[in-house]
């Protein structure tokens, strides 16, 4: 346990977007004028993040930082909807192709002043990978590591069964599905954790880098992968892409996924057919309220 938590602390000190003295902060402060020397871990996670950005055609974009700050979901609470002009102004800064890496010097730079890197959609999954490496090295033979919505299991439970993980119902308490995890990671990105509702619309923390507004084609995306960093970053990217492009992408990458779209329909990659348990149909209580022609918070 100590080895695992020490790993999380170390990574947090390097990668925290909001801490003034993390390496990510140093890179962000130097945006537009110089490259910054970084640790092996920081270089490694940025390289992985850029690969996923390419794979998702920029739907996952670690240069999302200026939008994260403008919307304010990750701080003390979102301030409301930013002015459209302000969103449009910062869109040119949200571009992972302007994150430059010099591997031999272990240096990273951001090409434009005002750019900011935010690894919030990959760091927890990456940390889960590192925690498992650390506790394996300490002699542990099986474990389930959960860092918020980013979960990785290795080995099997003492009763000989794989780890069983529930997927949160995006609009009600409890779970809507369960999956078995053996030497795999699962991450869920949802619009129900950090959000506010204004004029009947839900605004949340996962941004479409192309529009600067919260992505609205899905409400929950879970991705299962060998590595935590991949499950984490692809769940965020696929959340932005939506069910059609998302399922295609996951299948082409050999990843598994469960997508709940904006109409609450559940989409699965082919390999999961018959392999996951759908515990209950989604959102039954709201139907009644709809029939009574009243608005239903659960359906926003
Ligand atoms: P997750 O909960 O893993 O989906 O990550 C959400 C967090 O990632 C947000 O709070 C932002 O910090 C960041 N983020 C939001 N939208 C994106 C995006 N399109 N690509 C990369 N990171 C994002
Ligand atoms: Mg993620």
In the prediction, which pLDDT does 75 show?
A: 62
Beta bridge partners of 218: 261
User: Is the C-beta atom of 193 inside 6 A of ligand 1?
Assistant: no
Q: Is the Cβ atom of 267 under 6 angstroms away from ligand 1?
A: no
Note the pLDDT tens digit of each residue in 51-65.
999 999 999 999 999
Cα-to-centroid distance, 291 and ligand 1 (Å): 35
**pLDDT for 291 beyond 50:** no
Q: What is the distance between the alpha carbons of residues 122 and 245, in angstroms, rounded to a whole number? A: 20
Q: If you count them, how many residues does the chain have?
A: 300
- Three-state SS at 266: strand
Is there an atom of ligand 1 within 6 Å of 206 CB? yes
CB 40 within 8 A of CB 106: yes
Q: In the Cβ-directed half-sphere of 201, how many Cα atoms lie within 13 Å?
A: 9
Q: Is 64 in the pocket of ligand 1 (CB under 6 A)?
A: yes
Convert the pLDDT of each residue in 71-125 to its tens digit: 998 766 556 899 999 999 999 999 999 999 999 999 999 999 999 999 999 999 9
Three-class SS state of 218: strand
22-26: average pLDDT = 98
- CA distances to 5, 187, 212 from 227, rounded to whole Å, are 19, 10, 28
Ligand 1, residues 118, 211, 225: which to mutate, most atoms within 8 A of Cβ? Answer: 118
Strands 150-154 and 143-147: antiparallel
Region 34-39: mean pLDDT is 98
74 Cβ contact list (under 8 Å, min separation 6): 17, 18, 68, 120, 194, 205
**Sheet with 163-168: strands ordered across:** 163-168, 175-181, 277-278
Which of 46, 62, 64 to probe ligand 1 with, by most ligand atoms within 8 A of CB?
64
236 C-beta closer than 6 A to ligand 1: yes
The ranges assigned to domains in the chain are: 2-110, 153-299
pTM for this one? 0.93
Question: Residue whose CA is closest, atom 18 of ligand 1?
Answer: 60
Q: What is the mean pLDDT of the chain?
A: 92
Phi and psi (nearest 5°) for 38?
-130, 165
Contact in structure between 45 and 130 (CB atoms under 8 Å): no
- For the chain, what percent of residues have pLDDT higher than 70? 91
Q: CA nearest 106: which of 43, 173, 168? A: 43
- In the numeric block, which tokens belong to residue 186? 């699962």
**Residue 134, token pair as written in the block:** 């650390």
C-alpha 254 to ligand 1 mean position (Å): 22
Ligand 1 atom showing the smallest separation from residue 149 Cα: 2
* Ion ligand 2 residue ranges (Cβ < 5 Å): 121, 232, 235-236
How far does residue 123's CA lie from ligand 2's centre (Å)?
Answer: 8
Q: How far is the CA of 124 from the centre of ligand 1 (A)?
A: 11
Q: Are strands 163-168 and 175-181 parallel, antiparallel or unpaired?
A: antiparallel
Rg (CA), the chain: 19
The CATH superfamily assigned to 153-299 is ApbE-like domains (3.10.520.10)
pLDDT confidence of residue 275: 82
Give the model's pLDDT for residue 79: 66
> Could you tell me if the CB of 207 is within 6 A of ligand 1?
yes
Classify domain 2-110 at the CATH topology level: T-fold (1.10.3980)
Q: Which atom of ligand 1 is nearest to the CA of 189?
A: 4
């Amino acid at each position: 346990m100590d080895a695992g938590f020490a790993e999380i602390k170390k990574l947090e000190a390097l990668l925290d977007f909001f801490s003034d003295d993390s390496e990510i902060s140093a890179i962000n402060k130097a945006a537009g004028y110089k490259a910054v020397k970084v640790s092996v871990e920081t270089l490694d996670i940025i390289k992985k993040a850029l690969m996923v950005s390419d794979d998702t055609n920029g739907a996952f974009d670690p240069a999302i930082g200026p939008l994260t700050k403008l919307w304010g979901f990750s701080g003390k609470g979102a301030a409301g909807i930013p002015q459209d002009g302000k969103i449009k102004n910062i869109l040119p800064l949200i571009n992972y192709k302007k994150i430059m890496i010099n591997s031999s010097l272990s240096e990273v730079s951001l090409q434009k002043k005002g750019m900011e890197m935010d690894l919030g959609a990959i760091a927890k999954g990456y940390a889960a990978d590192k925690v498992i490496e650390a506790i394996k090295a300490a002699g542990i033979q099986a474990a389930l590591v959960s860092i918020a919505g980013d979960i990785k299991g290795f080995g099997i439970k003492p009763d000989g069964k794989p780890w069983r993980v529930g997927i949160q119902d995006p609009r009600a308490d409890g779970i809507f599905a369960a999956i078995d995890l053996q030497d795999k990671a699962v991450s869920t990105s949802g619009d129900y954790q950090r959000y506010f509702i204004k004029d009947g619309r839900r605004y949340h923390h996962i941004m479409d880098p192309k529009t600067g507004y919260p992505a609205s084609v899905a409400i929950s995306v879970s991705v299962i992968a060998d590595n935590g960093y991949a499950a984490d970053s692809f769940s965020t990217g696929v959340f932005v892409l939506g069910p059609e492009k998302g399922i295609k992408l996951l299948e082409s990458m050999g990843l598994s996924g469960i997508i709940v779209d904006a109409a609450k329909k559940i989409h699965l990659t082919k390999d999961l057919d018959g392999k996951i348990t759908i515990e209950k149909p989604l959102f039954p209580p709201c139907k009644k309220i709809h029939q009574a022609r009243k608005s239903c918070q659960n359906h926003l």
